[in-house]
Structure 1
Amino acid sequence: MGNFTLELLFHIIGIGSASGLFYKENSLLLIGDNSGFLYEYHLDSKALEQYPLIQNPTANIPKSEKPDFESITHFQDTLYIFGSGSTSKRNTMVEFDLNKKKKIKTNNLVDLYAVMQSFGDIKPEDFNLEGAVYDGDNWYLFNRGNGSSNKNTLFTLHAKKLTDEFSLLSNDYKLPKIKGIRSTFTDGVLINDKLYFLATVEDTQSTYDDGAILGSFIGRIDLETMKIDFTKKITSINKFEGITIFSNSKEKIEFLLCEDKDTDELKTAIYKLVLDLK
């Protein structure tokens, strides 16, 4: 893997604590971990729209009450938006129709999350899903190891729907450190047979409380071997929590990243990360 460049592209006013994003047809679909809306930002007009994901949504839900939407993925014309599972109020997965621009189904994943915790040997207080990828046959769900046990786990569920019967695999990873503190998964995206992931370092051992930000990495997991084949530190100051593909060629991959500053300010920074594949 060659060099990289990272640049701030723009800010979006009206979204705080951005935790995931998806780029499609010159629009960005975004979620925030303290918001009850899905947002659509039009890159040409700079217009921002919002669509409710829960009843009586607000843009800044109190921490103890929020659904904690941390992961967003898509297949065909449907978005899948996951709560982190880190508390009993964060077990929701919302399906959203990209054509009709409306929520079509809300799923309670409490039973599935309990199975994943048991299978992956993760204590409930250390369970914190922050990345999701769906390819039509398999769901790849990233547990962020920011609890006391530091369990960075990739779950692979083979099923068309999460309400169907499924087979389940889990793989644990030791991610790189900054200042002696191990980084933790925050999102992922699929390109061919590789999962590109973000990992960030916070000085905390809690899935609930935030800590000082020490930096972020990008890395890649080969789905044939389920091994990490590279990691690269991309910043010492940013906590990147969302990644989406902007463009992809043989020479380079361009990603868009969103940053969570863990504040109530309704302002989100969007960055472009370019990885040189030559």
Structure 2
Amino acid sequence: MQALIRREAVLPDLPSASGIEIVGETAYVIGDDAPFLYQFNAGTLAAGARTTLFETAHFSSGRIPKDIKRDLECMTSLTVSGGETGLLVLGSGATAAREQGFWVPLRAGHAETVYPLSLSGLYAALRERLPAGILLNLEAAAATPDELLLFQRTVGMSTGNLLFRLPLAATWAYLQRHTTQLPAISQQLFELPMVEKKPAGFSGASWQNGRLLVTASVEDTQDAVLDGAVLGSFVGELTLLPPGKQAVLPVSLALLQWPDGRAYRGKVEGVAVYRQLQARQLELLLVTDDDAGGSTAVVVELNW
């Protein structure tokens, strides 16, 4: 597998990109210390409208302070019962302030109305399934026709790279308060690659035509909240185990590289498939966060 960067573009006035989803020709992007859902043309990266997810008085500097930010890290598109399509945006759960999410219906290609979601009950159930000493830190989400997939990132440790698998219909009913019954939760553990003897952690995910694509990045830190130097980022495909099967799966991911072979040192935070080029070749759109308020979009050719 090979992941080659074809171009990189700065996303102006968008701090700390943390997730991306492409619906039609629109790329929707969230930032972990921003109150907006941003829109771009997926092909040209021209900026479009932005939608306010929540009101805040703490964005005057262009970034919400780390200790109070919602830390919106997970986003996936869903088509729910009744046929409505929208974006599910979720906080990481790493602190109490990060236990909120949002449902944003997409009507005629526009994101206008925003519905807040409380995630406290669901996140409490997820914490109960974590290994001892590991902090909940969800960094990516994807949705298959049947499941909501939530990716736990555990920095500096290989034992916490978990995928939580939840039945989509039951989870949606719980989030919409149509039931108080928590959805069943299963999990899958993955062995991610290392850079300089430091393990990668999940950072982005996307489900496209039966294929689960993920990104993972390596930071030189042991703290789920504090950032560290970025040592590299990966992209590739994961295999989902059949229900009831348990195994720690190694993952074949490609290190992001420039065409001249240099490793890419940016921290990738999200992935979306823009188009299929050939049978075993995809053009991906990634977003990155430099931990200083800057963001880029990276066009990547993935071959395997």
TM-score by length of 2: 0.83
Q: Distance in 2 between matches of 1:179 and 1:97?
A: 43
Letter of the 2:118 partner, please give it. Answer: N
Q: Distance in 2 between matches of 1:108 and 1:122?
A: 25
Q: Distance in 2 between matches of 1:168 and 1:25?
A: 31
Letter of the 1:246 partner, please give it. Answer: Y
Letter of the 2:53 partner, please give it. Answer: L
Residue 229 of structure 1, CA deviation: 5.0
* Residue matched to 1:275: 302
Letter of the 1:242 partner, please give it. Answer: G
RMSD, matched Cα: 2.1
- 1:20-59 aligned at under 5 Å gives the runs 20-42=19-41, 46-56=46-56, 58=59, 59=62
For each residue in 1:151-190, what CA deviation from the matched residue of structure 2 results, as whole angstroms up to 9, or x when unmatched? Answer: 1110000131341542211112221111111110001111
* Residue matched to 2:103: 95
Contact 2:3–2:235 (CA under 8 A) maintained in structure 1: no
Q: Distance in 2 between matches of 1:122 and 1:79?
A: 32
Higher mean C-alpha deviation, range 189-198 or range 86-95: 189-198
Residue 217 of structure 1, CA deviation: 1.0
* Residue matched to 1:159: 168
Contact 1:52–1:103 (CA under 8 A) maintained in structure 2: no
Q: Distance in 2 between matches of 1:176 and 1:149?
A: 9
Letter of the 1:171 partner, please give it. Answer: Q
* Residue matched to 1:112: 122
Identity %: 27
Residue 45 of structure 1, CA deviation: 8.4
Residue 44 of structure 1, CA deviation: 5.1
Higher mean C-alpha deviation, range 40-49 or range 18-27: 40-49
Secondary structure, aligned partner of 2:64? coil
- Matching residue within 136, 147, 153 for 1:144: 153
* Residue matched to 2:260: none
* Residue matched to 1:247: 275
Query: For residues 264 and 47 of structure 1, do their structure 2 counterparts lie closer, same or farther at Cα, with a shift above 3 Å needed?
Result: closer
Q: Distance in 1 between matches of 2:217 and 2:72?
A: 18
* Residue matched to 2:215: 198
Higher mean C-alpha deviation, range 179-188 or range 150-159: 150-159
Contact 2:163–2:187 (CA under 8 A) maintained in structure 1: yes
Query: For residues 6 and 105 of structure 1, do their structure 2 counterparts lie closer, same or farther at Cα, with a shift above 3 Å needed?
Result: same
Higher mean C-alpha deviation, range 161-170 or range 137-146: 161-170
Q: Distance in 2 between matches of 1:264 and 1:218?
A: 23
Contact 1:126–1:147 (CA under 8 A) maintained in structure 2: no
Secondary structure, aligned partner of 2:122? helix
Query: For residues 247 and 152 of structure 1, do their structure 2 counterparts lie closer, same or farther at Cα, with a shift above 3 Å needed?
Result: same
Letter of the 2:303 partner, please give it. Answer: D
Query: For residues 5 and 264 of structure 1, do their structure 2 counterparts lie closer, same or farther at Cα, with a shift above 3 Å needed?
Result: closer
- 1:74-93 aligned at under 5 Å gives the runs 74-76=77-79, 77-93=85-101
Residue 222 of structure 1, CA deviation: 1.2
* Residue matched to 2:139: 130
Residue 264 of structure 1, CA deviation: 2.7
Q: Distance in 1 between matches of 2:227 and 2:195?
A: 17
- Unmatched 5+ stretches in structure 2: 80-84, 257-262
Q: Distance in 2 between matches of 1:16 and 1:127?
A: 23
Letter of the 2:40 partner, please give it. Answer: Y
Q: Distance in 2 between matches of 1:29 and 1:197?
A: 17
Structure with a larger share of its residues in strand: 1
Q: Distance in 2 between matches of 1:192 and 1:39?
A: 25
Contact 2:267–2:290 (CA under 8 A) maintained in structure 1: yes
Contact 2:158–2:191 (CA under 8 A) maintained in structure 1: no
Segments of 4+ moved more than 6 angstroms: none
Letter of the 2:204 partner, please give it. Answer: D
Letter of the 2:31 partner, please give it. Answer: G
Secondary structure, aligned partner of 1:112? helix
Higher mean C-alpha deviation, range 42-51 or range 242-251: 42-51
Q: How many residues align?
A: 273
Higher mean C-alpha deviation, range 15-24 or range 45-54: 45-54
Query: For residues 81 and 152 of structure 1, do their structure 2 counterparts lie closer, same or farther at Cα, with a shift above 3 Å needed?
Result: same
